[in-house]
């Protein structure tokens, strides 16, 4: 079940901005394992895990802040109702079951028709307004999280420097994105 990971990612992003949370336990000097920097990416995490098994992956704060993102091809013109078509991103993790990525886009209003997968979103900056097919609009700003259900139809409007962290089930993501 992916929700514990999503919940943990959300809590860390909301509460760990200045570093990891304190480790509960006896009042002893921290061990080297607690103080060690975790691996930089999923490949390093797998290598560092060795026989111990998978290791947690810290999401790079510079990337979360929007630095060094990869420019992606413009969004499909027929989906852009207004604004820009540019967007950028970084895939932090692509495992057996989940994809975790940062996505940033120019201010724009997009048409969504039968959204291809369920997506957990944590808005990091800017403002998002989702309007369903019946015209019901809901606004989300930095720190807000939401789940966009598979099949959602409506508009996705982004204001300001819009950036989000998304978590998607891997098989659905691969089917929709063709990766």
Model confidence pTM above 0.85: no
Alpha-carbon span 64 to 109, nearest angstrom: 23
Alpha-carbon span 76 to 23, nearest angstrom: 46
- The DSSP bridge partners found for residue 82 are 109
In tens digits, the chain (179 residues) has pLDDT values of 343 333 344 334 433 333 333 333 333 333 333 333 334 454 444 455 556 888 898 998 888 888 889 999 999 999 999 999 999 999 999 999 999 999 999 999 999 999 999 999 999 999 999 999 999 999 999 999 999 999 999 999 999 999 999 999 999 989 988 75
pLDDT of residue 50: 56
Q: Could you list the beta-strand ranges (E) of 42-177.
A: 70-72, 80-83, 87-94, 98-105, 108-112, 119-132, 137-141, 145-148, 154-169
Domains contained in the chain, CATH given: 3-59 (no CATH), 64-177 (2.60.120.10)
Q: Are 132 and 146 in contact (CB under 8 A)?
A: no
């Amino acid at each position: 079940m992916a929700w514990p990971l999503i919940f943990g990612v959300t809590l860390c992003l909301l509460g760990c901005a200045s570093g990891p949370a304190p480790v509960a336990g006896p009042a002893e000097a921290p061990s080297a394992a607690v103080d060690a920097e975790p691996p930089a990416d999923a490949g390093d995490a797998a290598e560092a895990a060795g026989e111990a098994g998978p290791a947690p992956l810290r999401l790079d704060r510079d990337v979360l802040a929007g630095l060094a993102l990869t420019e992606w091809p413009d969004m499909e013109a027929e989906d852009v109702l207004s604004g820009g078509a540019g967007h950028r991103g970084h895939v932090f993790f692509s495992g057996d079951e989940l994809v975790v990525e940062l996505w940033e886009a120019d201010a724009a209003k997009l048409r969504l028709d039968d959204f291809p997968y369920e997506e957990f979103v944590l808005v990091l900056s800017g403002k998002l307004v989702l309007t369903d097919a019946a015209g019901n609009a809901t606004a989300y700003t930095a720190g807000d999280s939401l789940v966009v259900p598979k099949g959602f139809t409506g508009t996705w409007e982004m204001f300001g420097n819009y950036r989000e962290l998304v978590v998607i089930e891997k098989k659905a993501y691969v089917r929709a994105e063709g990766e």
